[in-house]
Amino acid sequence: MTDIENRLDFAKSLAQEAAALAVRLRDERGAEFIAEKGPQDFVTFADRAVEDLIRNRIAERWPYDAMLGEEDGVSGSGSALWVVDPIDGTANFMRGHRDWGVCIAFCDGQNISLGVICAPDLNMLAWASTGSGAWLNGERLSVSDCTDPTRAVLMLGWSTRRPIAEHTALIETLLETGIEYRRNGSAAISLMAVATGQAEGYYEAHLNAWDAFAAIPIISEAGGQVECAPLDRFMKSGSRIMACNIGVLDTFRHLIDSETSTV
């Protein structure tokens, strides 16, 4: 078994263990289970406990690897780097909505070698590694083959780091063009909709690395296209991101660029 195969098996098992912990802690929630980072930006006791679990498991198995996590930032150094969102879609998670997941990616230098997303409330374990295809619960994934924008769905994320006028202008343009849109509060689950063919694209004006890295290889291995900043800049400052199937790529890119900044 290759190093990446070993790491992928480890990440799949760890994502499931971490997701089970999150579910248990949600079921056992106490008075201090939820805290606020800012308006409509929450963190739960489970976010921190899940990240701690993942950090500890990685340190036990690969003590010289680095890790970037949403809650506690970077630990370690070197090109072997795990990028983790302990719970993507925390607001959904804490309210009992199903669209949330544990996201684990592994980077070697400038490449994301593997990604795993476990969404237990959706009964979903998705994974991919470079050159080995994308999979959901053991079934091969493929993006939508839709080429007609008027039959397409674009998943949208909302970032407070960009002007609200850009977001509303894009929605207006999409509807005028005949393209449907959805927003579900989880970048990882929205990106997975592209990989599974349930939507033709996803766009967010600014996204952090831990929200996206696990899904990027899954979409790519499922035949989709992802456009974002180079990985080192993405990790440092976040990035605009668009992911979609090839059939509507040019249309989505044109519409998005017409209403938003490419910076």
Same domain, 87 and 104: yes
Average pLDDT estimate for 192-212: 97
Give the domain CATH number at 174.
3.40.190.80
DSSP calls for 21-53: HHHHHHHT--TTSEEEEETTEEEEHHHHHHHHH
pLDDT band at residue 40 under the 50/70/90 scheme: very low
Of the residues 120, 140, 160, which one is the last residue of a structural domain? 140
Strand partners, 85: 103
Cα–Cα distance list, 212 to 70, 151, 208 (Å) = 12, 25, 7
Cα–Cα distance list, 15 to 125, 143, 218, 228 (Å) = 8, 23, 15, 25
Same domain, 181 and 158: yes
pTM beyond 0.85: the answer is yes
Same domain, 174 and 227: yes
Give pLDDT, residue 33. 60
H-run or E-run covering 202: strand 201-207
Domain that holds residue 241: 149-259
Give pLDDT, residue 160. 83
Same domain, 132 and 17: yes
**Looking at residue 109, what DSSP letter applies?**
T
pLDDT band at residue 148 under the 50/70/90 scheme: very high
Give pLDDT, residue 209. 97
Cα–Cα distance list, 132 to 80, 129, 137, 227, 245 (Å) = 20, 6, 15, 21, 19
**66-78 residue pLDDT tens:** 999 988 888 888 8
Largest CA distance in the chain: 53
Of the residues 71, 106, 140, which one is the last residue of a structural domain? 140
Closest listed residue to residue 215, CA positions, set 104, 109, 121: 104
**62-110 residue pLDDT tens:** 999 999 998 888 888 888 999 999 999 998 998 899 999 999 999 997 8
Give pLDDT, residue 51. 96
Same domain, 156 and 233: yes
pLDDT band at residue 41 under the 50/70/90 scheme: very low
State the Cα–Cα distance between residues 111 and 251, nearest whole angstrom: 27
Our count of domains for the chain comes to 2
Closest listed residue to residue 50, CA positions, set 8, 10, 102: 102
Strand partners, 73: 69
State the Cα–Cα distance between residues 99 and 190, nearest whole angstrom: 9
Give the domain CATH number at 95.
3.30.540.10
